[in-house]
Structure 1
C-alpha cells in the first residue's frame, strides 16, 4: 500500500496487517490490525511520527522511497510495533534526529541498540517548528507504558496519539466510516490494553482537554475525523459508573456448575439485571475483557479441582485482577466433590479489585432444590445492591 494523503502535506504511512490474529502472544485480533506512521512536511523541515512492526519494514521503507529527506523521527512509544523500524529509517536518513521523552530514550537504547548520537530528548509541552507547521509534545505516561507521549499538530489541530485511542482493526478505509464496528474494536482495545491504567488515563484525558483537537490519528486502526467520537467513548469508559450488568465467566466439567449458572442467569434476568455469560473453555477472552469494562458484578462459576478452582476459572480471576475493571461486587458459584478452598483461592487472586464479596453458592455434587433457592437469593442480593447504587 502506498502513502495516503490525510491533508495537505500530511500523509499516512504504514501497513495494514489483515491476517494477524494474536498480539504479544496474548491478545486476540479477530479483525487484524494496522501499524500507522505519519509523515508531516513543513515549509522548512520534515518529520516522521513512528514507524512499523519489523515484519512490515519492507512495505514501509518502500513508501519512503520518494521522500528525499527526513529531519526528525518522533518516537511516541518504544514498543516495537511502533519503534521497530527506526534503525532502518536512520540508516536511510543518517542526519535525522530521533525525538523522544527521556524515558523513551533509555528504552529505545535497550530494545533497539540505537546509538546515543541520534537522540534529542524533549520536555513535556515542548514544541518543534517545521516552518509553517508546529508540533507540540504532550507526555501521557502509562498509556500504556511509562514513556508514552502524543504529538499535537497545532495548525491542523490533529492529535497523533499512538496507542492512545487506538483500535486493532484492519481496513482499506483511511478514516472511520463504520462507527459501530470501530467503537467495538476501540472498546476491545481499551479493555485489553488500557483498562489497567484507567485512573491515569483519566488524568491524561484532563491534560488533553484544553486542546482544540479536531482529528485523532492513532498508531493502530483508522483515523478519527471526528475526534469527539472517540474522546466521548474514553470519557465514558474511564469515568462512567458500572452498569446494571453481571459478567459470569464459568467452566463446567460434569454439568453441575453449568446448571447452576443457567439458573442464576434466569433469576438475574427476572429481576431486571443484564447478564453477560462466558464459557471459559471456548470464549474469546477479548469479549470477556470488553464486558468487564461496564460490569458492576462478576460471578465466577467453577467446579473444584484438587481443592481449588478449575484452571480456566483461575485464569479469569487473574485476568480480572490484571485488567482492574471498575467492578464493585464479586461472588462464586460451583460444585465440588469432597471439599476444598475454591472461594479462598479465588479471593486471594484478586487483590487489585476493590470489591465486596457476596456470599457464594457452592454445592456438593448435583445441585438440589435448596441450591437453586440459594441461587435465587444470590440473584436477589445482587439486584438489590445494583438498585441501591443506581446502576443502570
Structure 2
C-alpha cells in the first residue's frame, strides 16, 4: 500500500511480465491494475479492483494495511482487469456495496454473476459522503466501453477516471516523474484503445472542464500530478487535426512491391512529406496504431496472392477499419502476376474510414520506368492534397 494523498492509497498491482492484452494488444512495458483506497472519517471506499490473476496482491495489500472494513467498492468499468477481483473482495468484506451506474451494474451481473443486492446504483451527478470527503460521479462513456464512469473526490480535487488517461506501463513510480517518458506509453494506449471514440472523448473532455482537477489517478500507469499535461495530449489526439505525414505499411513476396515502396517513400520525402514505412511481416500492432493517430494519408502496399491481397495487408486493412482513424486520404500500391482484385478487396475492408481514395498504382510484375512515373504522380497528388488541407 502506497500513499498518494492524506488517507488515500494505491493498493493495486504491477504486472511486470504481461506482454499481451486481450490476446491482441502488445504490452512491451507491462502494465498495472490500479486500485485506490480512500479512508474517510465515516466510510471507506475501494476504487476499482484488479485483474483476477493479481487478486492475491490486492487482498494482501488490504490485509497488511489493517483494513478491517470496506463500505463501498466503486466499479467504474465492467472489464475484468478492473472488476475481476470484486467477488474476492466481497468475500473478505461482505457488507461492502458495489457502486456502479445502471449499465455497469448489468454488465457486472452478467460477467461476474453478482447478485443485484450487492449494488448501490448511482447516476450522473450523484454524490456519496465518506464523512469528511465526498465522491461525485461523472458519466464518461466510451472510454472505452459504453458504461464507463469516473469519480471526482471533491475535497482533494482528484479525478479517478478508470481507463481514461491511462497508460500500459509497469513502473515502481507511483507518480509521473518524467512527462516526456510517459508521453509514448500514453499515446500508444490512446491509439490502441481509445482512438475509435475520439468524438466521445472530446465530449468527455468538455464535461471535465467544470471540475478543478489537481490530480488524475487512472486505472493503468502512474498518477498525474500535472493533469493539464495528459488532458492537453488527449485534446490533441482526439481532435480532427492531422499532420503532413504518410503511413506506408507494406508486405512483399518477390520484391516487386518492396521496390515500389522504396521508390515511393523516397519520392514523398523528396517532396517534403514525412513518411514511416512499416514492414507488416514483423511490425508491432502498437506502432501501427500510434501512426494512425497523426497520419494525413495512409498508403497500403501489397502484392497479389490468389487474386486477392496478401493476408498481412488484409490484417492491416482490418486494423485500420477497426480503429477508424481521422486520416484524410488513402491509396493502395502493389503488384500482381496474372490477375488481381486486391485494390477492391482492400478498399472494401476499410469502408469505415471516411477518407478520400487517391488513384492506386498497381504494376504487373516488376515495376518499370512507367510504373515509377505513376508513383511520382501519386506522390504529387498527395502533396497537392496536403497543401489544400494546409498541412504544408
Q: Tell me, yes or no, whether TM beats 0.5.
A: yes
3-state SS of 1:373 partner: helix
Partner of 2:379: 379
Alignment of 1:8-23 (within 5 A): 8-23=6-21
Q: Does 1:39 align with 2:23?
A: no
Give the C-alpha shift of residue 13 in structure 1.
1.1
Q: Which residue is 1:106 aligned to? A: 106
Q: Distance in 2 between matches of 1:36 and 1:285?
A: 24
In structure 1, the partner of 2:22 is 24
The aligned residue for residue 207 of structure 1 is 207
Q: Is the 8 A contact 1:241 1:391 kept in 2?
A: no
The alpha-carbon deviation at position 238 of structure 1 amounts to 0.8
Could you say which residue in structure 1 is the equivalent of 2:312? 312
Structure 2 Cα separation of the partners of residues 369 and 325 of structure 1? 34
Following superposition, which runs of at least 4 residues in structure 1 exceed 3 angstroms of deviation?
Answer: none
Deviation, structure 1 residue 178:
2.1
1:69-128 Cα offsets, whole Å, 9 max, x none, are 111000010100000000111111111111001011110011001111111110111111
Output one character per residue of 1:19-75: Cα deviation in whole Å (capped at 9) or x when no partner.
Answer: 100000000000000000000011111110000000101111001111011110000
How many residues align? The count is 390
Residue 266 in 1 paired to residue 266 in 2?
yes
Structure 1: distance between partners of 2:220 and 2:365: 48
> Partners of 1:379 and 1:210 in 2: how far apart?
46
Secondary structure at the aligned position of 2:161 is classed as strand
Q: Is 1:95 aligned with 2:98?
A: no
1:361 & 1:179 partners in 2: Cα distance? 42
Deviation at 1:181, TM superposition (A): 2.2
Query: What is the correspondence of 1:187-198 to structure 2 with a 5 Å cutoff?
Result: 187-198=187-198
Gaps of 5+ in 2: none
Q: CA RMSD for the aligned pairs?
A: 0.7
Conservation of the 8 A alpha-carbon contact between 1:173 and 1:222: yes
2:360 counterpart residue number: 360
Does structure 1 conserve the Cα–Cα contact (< 8 Å) formed by 2:240 and 2:326?
no
TM-score of the aligned structures, taking structure 2 as reference length: 0.99
Task: Note the 1:228-377 alignment, pairs <5 A.
Answer: 228-377=228-377
Q: TM-score, normalised by structure 1?
A: 0.99
SS of 2:12's equivalent? strand
Which deviations, in whole Å up to 9, do the C-alpha atoms of 1:137-175 show, x marking residues without a partner?
001111111110010001111100110000000001000
- Contact 2:13 2:50 (8 Å CA) reproduced: yes
Once the 2 structures are TM-superposed, how far is the Cα of residue 340 of structure 1 from its aligned partner?
1.3
The correspondence of residues 109-128 of structure 1 with structure 2, limited to 5 A, is 109-128=109-128
- Alignment deviations for residues 285-310 of structure 1 (CA, whole Å, 9 cap, x no partner): 10010000000000000000111110
SS at match of 2:333: strand
CA offset digits 1:163-208 (Å, max 9, x no partner): 0000000001000112222110010000100011111111111111
SS of 2:206 mapped into structure 1? helix
Q: 5 Å matches for 1:142-161?
A: 142-161=142-161
Which residue in 1 is equivalent to 2:163?
Answer: 163
**Gap regions ≥5 residues in structure 1:** none
